[in-house]
Structure 1
Amino acid sequence: MKVQGIAAIVTGGGSGLGAATGRALAAAGARVALLDLNEQAAAAVAGEIGGLALVCDVSDAASAEAAVARAAQAHGPARILVNCAGVATAGRIVGRNGPLDLSAYARVIEINLIGTFNLMRLVAAGALALDPLEGGERGVIVSTASVAAYEGQIGQAAYASSKAGIVGLTLPAAREFAPAGIRVCAIAPGLFETPMMKGLPQEVQDSLGAAVPFPPRLGRPEEYARLVMAIIDNPMLNGEVIRLDGALRMQAR
């Protein structure tokens, strides 16, 4: 799909992977709406790229419906959705203080998995009503999984299962939307320079980066965005989860 003039929505667009993706889409000529709980952060990126910043809790139906409707009023219905919003709350299933609080587990699932599904259902509904473009495409949806979906570490039970849910969602969604020309893929990043990672001491970041076989460093958000753009551009990429990890395989801890 050629993105020039196409409406796009990026969740988690105020920082990290989402901000880099918003910049890449805008540079290619897309009309970009950045959804984020942090209005100030989203507005800063939107101002930089000439996009639209919208406050959105992706786990809440009404909040997402309102944000998608406002984006459509400004740019038209979106044909491109990139789901980057997420949290990585850590905690053992049974820790020193007993079982993990169920609400802590539910919050991760609600934001990472239900939030992805929430935006997928809304953007797909709008794209289904659009005329097909050249080649029969109506839209492209890219979600963010994680290598933790495959090699979740101790303390990552909530995060890993939320990302495994995104892996499991990708193929049935692609099959459902295929007759209408809407493609669905996901990216499973390894260790990337995100705000969560940058909160760690520099020596810890360096140590984590050195564990990546090649290149021996943390991934850059721009590299994630480049893969998003490649997925959008290549019509044969559909129903696939692509690892973006430098051949990293996570250990148990």
Structure 2
Amino acid sequence: MDVEFISEFEDFNEFLNKLNNELKFSNNNYNQAQIEVLNFLSNNKDVTAKQIEEVLNIDRGFLSRTLKSLQNNKLLKKTQSKKDKRIYILNISPKGKVVLEEYRSLKIIKYDEVFDHLSEEKKEEFIEVLKQAMQIFNNKSYSPILLENESTLEYVFNKDNVVWQAKNDKHIITTLLYKRVNEWTVELEFISLVEDLKIFKDLVKKAVNYAYDNFESHLIMYVDYNHNKYISIMSDLDFIETETLENKIRFDLFL
């Protein structure tokens, strides 16, 4: 593949990551989980916390903290059910609607800054190219590919220690730890940084599949700010950005 094309594509990908980060930092009062709950409440009236938990697949403890934060900021209304006083009914508040609309408007503005100058025809061509690239990527085999002067890539799973390793000529490239936080929650952590995006994604996918098979309900992973190229991969794997820390971003996946 043309080296210049790869370089241009990497620059574009980095630019989109910066654009997404700018959007998140512009709305830094609320994390992605809070926005998702507000969006759900805006589309559904008179719901319970249990309904939100089931539909959005959010861990009960994490959801409880999210709802409490939204209530403290007066973004939702909580009223006791007349039929069952043990149950509370949730609705988005007028202030919550304003916050959600501001977020949506900001998102449109940010992306319009990039794409609005393109004609509808160019936009359609751009989307079609992206769809083709994603289809090829999603359908390709993940088994190791042997190329000239390139050694075999191997993934090894150690069930006793619950770790995944990517190896090349018996040399360990990186190790992904599967660290239990509590009965329902597991944290994923790379021992060493892996520059290869495919290896990064494959190892995280293997851990997610393992968690699903073992009936886990909540995965956590932290990504350093300096490695923006991994952020889009977390989104591809359905992780949700939930917290912005000093040097890293927290991602959660609810199974």
TM-score, normalized by length of structure 1?
0.27
Give the TM-score normalised by structure 2.
0.27
Q: Which has the higher contact order (CA 8 A, sep 6+)?
A: 1
